């Protein structure tokens, strides 16, 4: 039963960097729906290292593009990379005009950090390692001033409404449990990634793959789902999510050491600790799997400056009873970012008319098999603005009301726990056919139990199942997708599920 019906020119689902960037540039009556409080929730607020952007005097969009392509290992969409790196500087300047305050040097110029895979210092950051919080503060304040944007927060979207092959709305559950149907010709999914599908993750609780699941249920094209990025340095403690130890620490000279205190990355890659993220994550994981421990040691490189330069990480370490000024921090890789997602063109248009997808939920193709550090906030800014221009260009009359029949919301904490450990154990950093098949069989069983309902658990099972199926079907190793049974890299190819039949897709 629908309790409220709301009409709008556009509905944006998700209030992180991508949703806010879209909201800032979309005219007409816009509703921004977010399951968290407005201005909070999602990965954006937690971003540490910063935004990669070609603004330094010795940099250029071409150099930024070539680093992005090198790390992406042959399956980036080259046009999308050109768009990202050439439009990035303008979008970051715009963000500064919206009031974002990035760190500056003594002369008042932007201060650029360095992260893995970048050929030079290119990362703008705020308050040391609290970049995401500053971006959320500035962008949500700017959106709050837009009289055409209405915010519905604490509202969980769980279904898209399809009529004659196009999207005509979405259904959500509001803060009082009321069911809301949005009637609109334009829905923009900005729901973020899938990190919570894994028991070890840096991602906050909101990041559950809901956008991927909703888009899959209406038959949207999904691309490169097997590419899940594991960040090499999450702090080992009893905290969930695992606190991130930003890559900027390694950029500042922090080193990875094993339980004998010996550095091991220099023997594996010429860039040592600043090798591409997948390589550092696998090297770290192979030691942990062998029963060893791994530590990030910043005591020499950063030492007493730690609280000023990296206040977020310092606070997390202190919460875990550790002092990074003088001791190494125990680390593990953790699920961090989804390179794959809902396939979109250069303007965020999915394969279903009326459905746009932006930010981490989208597969624009900019990241290939391995995202270059700090390219994701930039992607949200650039492609959010592009999607807004496309929504504007295709503003349509309000569609006729197609009554949605919402399925009951199912809360299944046991299933969620099981999905998370299954994904870490079988669809994690090192994969093989038997582990993937075992995960798919179990996810099939879980999905049969949840088919009659909607909500977070059902979305998580579906998103996990689609990722596991994609991982099994890519019989090669490339970037973040490593197959023990197919260690070689084959021909570069992006892979799509077109209008997946969810009952038979395995």
Residue 205 or 268: the one with the smaller Cβ distance to ligand FAD is: 205
Of the candidates 465, 485, 489, the residue with the CA atom closest to the CA atom of residue 476: 489
Q: Is residue 180 helix, strand or coil?
A: strand
Which of ligand FAD, ligand SIN, none is residue 203 near (CB under 5 to 8 Å by kind)? ligand FAD
The three-state (H, E, C) secondary structure of 315-361, written as one string: HHHHHCCCCCCCCCEEEEEEEEEECCEEECCCCCECCCCCEEECHHH
8 A C-beta contact, residue 73 and residue 370 = yes
The answer to the question of residue 43 lying near ligand FAD (CB under 6 A) is yes
Q: For ligand FAD, give the closer residue by CB, 202 or 299.
A: 202
Give 143 or 334: the residue with its C-beta nearer to ligand SIN.
334
Residue of 112, 285, 306, 337 interacting with ligand FAD (CB under 6 A): 337
Based on CB atoms, which residue is closest to ligand SIN, 216 or 373? 373
**Residue 284 interacts with ligand FAD (CB under 6 A): yes or no:** no
Minimum distance between the CB of residue 248 and ligand SIN, rounded to whole angstroms?
A: 6
Distance of closest approach, residue 248 Cβ to ligand FAD, in angstroms: 8
Nearer to ligand FAD, 374 or 477 (CB): 374
- 36 is an interface residue for ligand FAD by CB under 6 A: yes
Token couple for 218: 């209406």
Strands of 179-183's sheet in order across: 4-7, 179-183, 166-173, 156-163
Among 8, 23, 39, 46, binds ligand FAD (CB under 6 A): 46
Number of residues that bind ligand FAD (CB under 6 A): 44
CA distances 12 to 66, 331, 366, Å, are 32, 36, 22
The least CB distance from residue 242 to ligand SIN, in Å, is 13
Euclidean distance between CA atoms 68 and 370, whole angstroms: 9
- What is the 8-class DSSP label of residue 304? G
Provide, rounded to whole angstroms, the least separation between the CB of residue 357 and ligand FAD.
Answer: 9
**Binding site partner of 223, from ligand FAD, ligand SIN, none, Cβ cut-off 5-8 A by kind:** none
Only segment of 44-52, 56-64, 269-277, 293-301 that touches ligand FAD (CB under 6 A): 44-52
DSSP structure class, residue 478: B
Among the listed ranges 31-39, 59-67, 264-272, 473-481, the one in contact with ligand FAD (CB under 6 A) is: 31-39
Binding partner of residue 140 among ligand FAD, ligand SIN, none, CB cut-off 5 to 8 Å per kind: none
Q: What are phi and psi of 63, to 5 degrees?
A: -65, -40
Residue indicated by tokens 């829905």:
187
> Which is it for the CA torsion 11, 13, 18, 24, positive or negative?
positive
**In a 3-state reduction of DSSP, which class is residue 187?**
strand
Residue 44 CB, nearest approach to ligand FAD (Å): 3
Using the rule CB under 6 A, is 13 a contact of ligand FAD? yes
Is residue 47 near ligand FAD by the rule CB under 6 A?
yes
Asked if residue 442 lies in contact with residue 464, where contact means CB atoms within 8 angstroms, the answer is no
Selected catalytic residue, list 122, 196, 250, 277: 277
Contact 384, 18 (CB under 8 A): yes
406 forms part of the interface with ligand FAD (CB under 6 A): no
- Write out the DSSP string of 99-142: T----B-TTSPBPEE--TT-SS--EE-STTT-HHHHHHHHHHHH
Any contact of residue 130 with ligand FAD (CB under 6 A)? no
CA distance 144 to 135: 14
Alpha helices by DSSP H, 290-322: 306-309, 311-319
Q: Is 368 in the site for ligand FAD (CB under 6 A)?
A: no
Cβ closest to ligand FAD, residue 35 vs residue 282: 35
CB under 5 to 8 A by kind: which of ligand SIN, ligand FAD, none does 132 bind?
Answer: ligand FAD
How far, in Å, CA of 7 to CA of 399, rounded? 9
Two tokens, residue 427: 């669809």
The CA angle 114-111-308, to the nearest 5 degrees, is 85
- In whole angstroms, the minimum distance from the beta carbon of 479 to ligand SIN comes to 15
Min. distance of Cβ 142 from ligand SIN in angstroms? 23
The token pair at 66 is 């070539």
247 makes contact, choosing from ligand FAD, ligand SIN, none, with CB < 5 to 8 Å by partner type, with ligand SIN
Question: Is the Cβ of residue 336 or residue 472 nearer to ligand FAD in the bound state?
Answer: 336
Of 200, 45, 74, the residue nearest 138 (C-alpha) = 45
* Residue 171 in the binding site for ligand FAD (CB under 6 A): no
d(CA 442, CA 439): 5
| Residue 93: CB minimum distance to ligand FAD, A | 17
Residue (247 or 459) nearer to ligand SIN, CB: 247
* 202: contact with ligand FAD by CB under 6 A: yes
Residues that bind ligand SIN (CB under 6 A): 48-49, 246-248, 373-374, 376
User: HEC states along 30-84?
Assistant: EEEECCCCCCCCCCHHHCCCCEECCCCCCCCHHHHHHHHHHHHCCCCCHHHHHHH
371 is catalytic: no
Q: CB under 6 A: which stretch of 199-207, 275-283, 293-301, 348-356 binds ligand FAD?
A: 199-207
Q: Residue 48 or residue 351: which is nearer to ligand SIN going by CB?
A: 48
Catalytic positions, please?
A: 277
Which residues make up the interface to ligand FAD (CB under 6 A)? 13-19, 33-36, 41-44, 46-51, 131-132, 156-157, 190-193, 202-203, 206-207, 210, 244, 337, 359-361, 374-377, 380
């Amino acid at each position: 039963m629908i309790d409220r019906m709301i009409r709008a020119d556009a509905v944006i689902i998700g209030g992180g960097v991508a949703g806010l960037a879209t909201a800032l540039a979309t005219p007409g009556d816009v509703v921004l729906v977010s399951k968290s409080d407005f201005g909070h929730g999602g990965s954006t607020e937690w971003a540490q290292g910063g935004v990669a952007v070609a603004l330094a005097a010795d940099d250029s969009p071409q150099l930024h593009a070539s680093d992005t392509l090198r790390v992406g290992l042959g399956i980036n969409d080259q046009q999308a990379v050109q768009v990202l790196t050439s439009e990035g500087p303008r979008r970051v300047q715009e963000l500064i005009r919206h009031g974002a305050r990035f760190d500056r040097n003594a002369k008042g110029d932007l201060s650029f950090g360095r992260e893995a895979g970048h050929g030079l210092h290119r990362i703008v950051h705020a308050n040391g390692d609290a970049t995401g919080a500053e971006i959320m503060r500035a962008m949500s304040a700017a959106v709050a001033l837009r009289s055409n944007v209405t915010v519905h927060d604490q509202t969980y979207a769980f279904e898209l409404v399809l009529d004659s092959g196009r999207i005509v709305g979405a259904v959500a559950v509001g803060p009082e449990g009321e069911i809301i149907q949005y009637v609109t010709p334009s829905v923009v999914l900005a729901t973020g990634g899938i990190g919570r599908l894994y028991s070890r993750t840096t991602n906050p609780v909101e990041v559950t793959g809901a956008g991927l699941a909703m888009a899959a249920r209406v038959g949207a094209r999904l691309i490169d789902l097997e590419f899940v990025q594991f960040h090499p340095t999450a702090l080992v403690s009893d905290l969930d999510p695992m606190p991130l130890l930003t890559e900027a620490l390694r950029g500042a000279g922090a080193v990875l050491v094993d339980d004998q205190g010996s550095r091991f990355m220099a023997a594996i890659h010429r860039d040592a600790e600043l090798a591409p993220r997948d390589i550092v994550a696998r090297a770290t994981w192979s030691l942990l799997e062998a029963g060893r421990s791994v530590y990030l040691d910043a005591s020499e490189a950063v030492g007493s400056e730690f609280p000023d330069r990296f206040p977020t990480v310092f606070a997390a370490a202190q919460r875990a009873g550790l002092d990074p000024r003088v001791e190494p921090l125990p680390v593990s890789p953790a699920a961090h970012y989804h390179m794959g997602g809902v396939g979109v063109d250069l303007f965020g248009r999915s394969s279903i008319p009326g459905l746009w997808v932006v930010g981490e939920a989208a597969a624009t193709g900019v990241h290939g098999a391995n995202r270059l550090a700090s390219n994701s906030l930039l992607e949200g800014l650039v492609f959010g603005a592009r999607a807004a221009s496309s929504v504007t260009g295709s503003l349509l009359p309000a569609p006729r009301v197609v009554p949605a029949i919402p399925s009951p919301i199912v809360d299944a904490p046991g299933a969620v726990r099981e999905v998370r450990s299954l994904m870490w154990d079988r669809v994690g950093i090192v994969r093989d056919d038997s582990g993937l098949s075992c995960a798919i069989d179990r996810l099939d069983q879980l999905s049969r139990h949840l088919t009659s309902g909607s909500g977070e658990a059902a979305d998580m099972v579906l998103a996990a199942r689609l990722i596991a199926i994609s991982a099994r079907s890519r019989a090669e190793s490339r970037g973040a997708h490593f197959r023990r049974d197919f260690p070689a890299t084959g021909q570069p190819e992006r892979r799509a599920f077109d209008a997946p039949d969810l009952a038979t897709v395995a």
